[in-house]
Structure 1
Amino acid sequence: MEYLNLLILTVMLIILGLLLRNWQPPIKHQYIVILLLSIGSLLGNYMIDSWTWGFCIGGLTYYKDLLVTDFNLVASSFKQLLSIGKEIDPND
C-alpha cells in the first residue's frame, strides 16, 4: 500500500510541477522549487508518514530535466570512450 501512495505522490508532484512551470504570468523558479518541496514534504508526511520522501520527490520533480540531460551526456561520453577503446585494442 505504501508503494501505491508513493506512486500517487510522485504523479501528483509531476502534475503540479507542470502546472507551475506553465503558469501565466510566469512564476519565478525559486518559488516553484519552494512550492514543490514544501507541498511534497507535507503530502509525504500525510500519505506515507515520511516527509523526507516527499521532499526528495519534490526536488527530483523540479530538477528532472537537468538530471535527464546530464545523464544523457554521461551516457554518450561512456559510449565514446568505449568506441575509442575498441579502436585502440591493446591485444593487437
Structure 2
Amino acid sequence: MDIKEAGPAFTTALENELIQIRADQRELAQDLTERINGVGRRLKSLDAKVELGFSSVDAQLQILDSRVKIVESRLGVVQETQQQMLGVLVGIQRRLEAA
C-alpha cells in the first residue's frame, strides 16, 4: 500500500472511530439519563412514604395530646377531691382535739 492509499484509509478509519466514539457517548448519555430518571422516581416514591409516615406520626401525636389533656383534667379533679378530703380530715382532727 502506498502513501496515496494509506492516507485516505487512515482518515476513513479515523473518521469511523470518531463516529463510533460519538455513538458510544450518546449511548452512555442515554443510559445516564435513564438512571437519573430512575433515581428520581425512586426518590419521589421514598419521599411519599416518608410523608405518609410523618402524617401517621402527627395523627398519633394528636391522639396522644388529647389523651394527655384528659389525664390532666382527671388529675385536676383528683387534686380537688384530695383538697376536700384534707379539709374534712382537718375538721375531724380539730373536733377530736376539742373533745
Q: TM-score band (shorter)?
A: 0.3 to 0.5
TM-score (norm: length of structure 2):
0.33
Q: Which has the higher contact order (CA 8 A, sep 6+)?
A: 1
Higher helix share: 2
TM-score (norm: length of structure 1):
0.35
